[in-house]
C-alpha cells in the first residue's frame, strides 16, 4: 500500500536570496538543481507541490524606491519581473531532469508563461505537474511571502513551507548572538507580537486568518526540502 504522508498538497516558498546560494551570480545552478531533485523525489510519492519564487536576489523594490527616487510601484514591478526570471530558471532546471512543470504569472506574459488561473493550477497539480507561481501577487506594495500565503489559501495547500538560509526562527539573531535558540514551535501571535522577522505582517496575518501552518526551514541542508514536504520535523513550525 502507498505510504501516507502528512501533507497531500504543499506550497513551497523559495526566496531569491536562497536561490543565490553562495555563488557570485544571481542564481546558483547548484541550488536550483538541488531543489529540482528534492521536489522530484516527493512528487514521485504523489505529493502535490506548488512553488512561489521570490526575486530579492535580482531586485527588491523597497530598497530601490527609497534610495534612488524611483517611485515604489515602478520599483515593485521590476521586482515582480525579477521573480519571473527566477521562475523560468527553476522551471528549465526541473524540466531538464524530467519533472513536468508549469509557470503561471500574476500578470500576463503569455509568450513566456501561462497566466495565473486558479482552477488550471489545481488541475496541473492533480496531474502531478509542479506549478511555479511568478510575479508575486501582481500588485506593488506586496511581497512574495504574501503571494505564497495567498496562493496557498487559494489552491487549498495544507502548509506553507518557507525555505530560507537559516535553520528556522530564533529568539535572537543567531549571526550576532551565538546563544540564540532555535524555536521549534511558535504561535502566530508570538510571531506578530514579538516582532520576530519571519515574514511581513500581511503574509503572517493571511496565514493566521486561514489557519495555514507555516514551516520555516533551511534549504541548504541536504534532504531538508524533501523532509519538509513529507511533513518530517524540520525548522520552526508556526501555527495555532
Ligand atoms: N513584489 C511586489 N509584489 C508582490 C511580490 C513581490 O511588488 O506581490 C516585488 C517587490 O518589489 C519585492 C520584489 O518583487 O521586493 C521581490 O520579491 P521579494 O522581495 O518578496 O522576494 P524574496 O525576498 O523572497 O527574494
How confident is the model over 1-33, as pLDDT tens digits?
556 789 999 999 999 999 998 878 999 999 999
Q: Is the CB of 144 under 6 A from ligand 1?
A: yes
pLDDT exceeding 70 applies to what percent of the chain?
99
Give the pLDDT of residue 72.
Answer: 95
| Burial status of residue 68 (CB atoms within 10 A of its CB: 0-12, 13-18, 19 or more) | exposed
* pLDDT value at 67 more than 60: yes
Give the pLDDT of residue 2.
Answer: 59
* pLDDT value at 106 more than 80: yes
Give the pLDDT of residue 24.
Answer: 84
Residue 62 Cα to ligand 1 midpoint, Å, equals: 8
Tell me which of 3.40.1160.10, 2.60.40.420, 3.30.70.20, 3.40.30.10 is the CATH number of domain 9-239: 3.40.1160.10
Domain extents for the chain?
9-239
| ipTM summary value | 0.98
Residue 46 Cα to ligand 1 midpoint, Å, equals: 30
| Closest to 104 (Cα-Cα) out of 72, 60, 147, 149 | 147
> For residue range 37-60, what is the model confidence (pLDDT) as tens digits?
999 999 999 999 999 999 999 999
| Closest to 104 (Cα-Cα) out of 162, 155, 156 | 155
Q: Is the CB of 140 under 6 A from ligand 1?
A: yes
Q: Is the CB of 17 under 6 A from ligand 1?
A: yes
Mean residue pLDDT of the chain comes to 94
Cα four-point dihedral sign 48, 234, 93, 27: positive
Taking the C-alpha atoms of residue 219 and residue 176, their distance in angstroms, rounded to an integer, is: 21
Residue 138 Cα to ligand 1 midpoint, Å, equals: 10
Q: Is the CB of 81 under 6 A from ligand 1?
A: no
| Burial status of residue 76 (CB atoms within 10 A of its CB: 0-12, 13-18, 19 or more) | buried
The structure's pTM equals 0.96
Cell numbers for 43:
512528487
Task: Indicate which residue's Cα is closest to atom 6 of ligand 1.
Answer: 143
Residue 56 Cα to ligand 1 midpoint, Å, equals: 7
| Closest to 16 (Cα-Cα) out of 52, 67, 68, 48 | 52
Q: Is the CB of 162 under 6 A from ligand 1?
A: no
Amino acid at each position: 500500500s502507498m505510504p501516507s504522508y502528512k501533507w497531500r498538497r504543499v506550497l513551497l516558498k523559495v526566496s531569491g536570496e536562497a536561490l543565490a546560494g553562495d555563488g557570485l551570480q544571481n542564481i546558483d545552478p547548484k541550488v536550483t538543481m538541488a531543489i529540482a531533485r528534492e521536489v522530484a523525489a516527493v512528487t514521485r510519492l504523489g505529493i502535490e507541490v506548488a512553488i512561489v519564487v521570490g526575486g530579492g536576489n535580482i531586485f527588491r523594490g523597497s530598497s530601490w524606491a527609497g534610495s534612488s527616487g524611483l517611485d515604489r510601484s515602478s520599483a515593485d514591478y521590476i521586482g515582480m519581473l525579477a521573480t519571473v526570471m527566477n521562475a523560468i530558471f527553476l522551471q528549465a532546471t526541473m524540466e531538464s531532469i524530467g519533472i513536468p512543470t508549469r509557470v503561471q504569472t500574476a500578470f500576463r506574459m503569455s509568450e513566456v508563461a501561462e497566466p495565473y488561473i486558479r482552477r488550471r493550477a489545481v488541475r496541473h497539480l492533480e496531474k502531478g505537474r509542479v506549478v511555479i507561481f511568478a510575479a508575486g501577487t501582481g500588485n506593488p506594495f506586496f511581497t512574495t511571502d504574501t503571494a505564497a500565503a495567498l496562493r496557498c489559501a487559494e489552491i487549498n495547500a495544507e502548509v506553507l513551507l518557507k525555505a530560507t538560509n537559516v535553520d528556522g526562527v530564533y529568539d535572537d539573531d543567531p549571526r550576532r548572538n551565538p546563544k540564540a535558540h532555535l524555536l521549534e514551535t511558535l504561535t502566530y501571535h508570538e510571531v506578530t507580537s514579538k516582532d520576530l522577522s519571519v515574514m511581513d505582517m500581511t503574509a503572517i496575518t493571511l496565514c493566521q486568518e486561514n489557519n495555514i501552518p507555516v514551516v520555516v526551514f533551511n534549504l541548504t541542508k541536504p534532504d531538508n526540502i524533501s523532509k519538509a514536504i513529507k511533513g518530517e520535523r524540520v525548522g520552526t513550525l508556526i501555527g495555532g
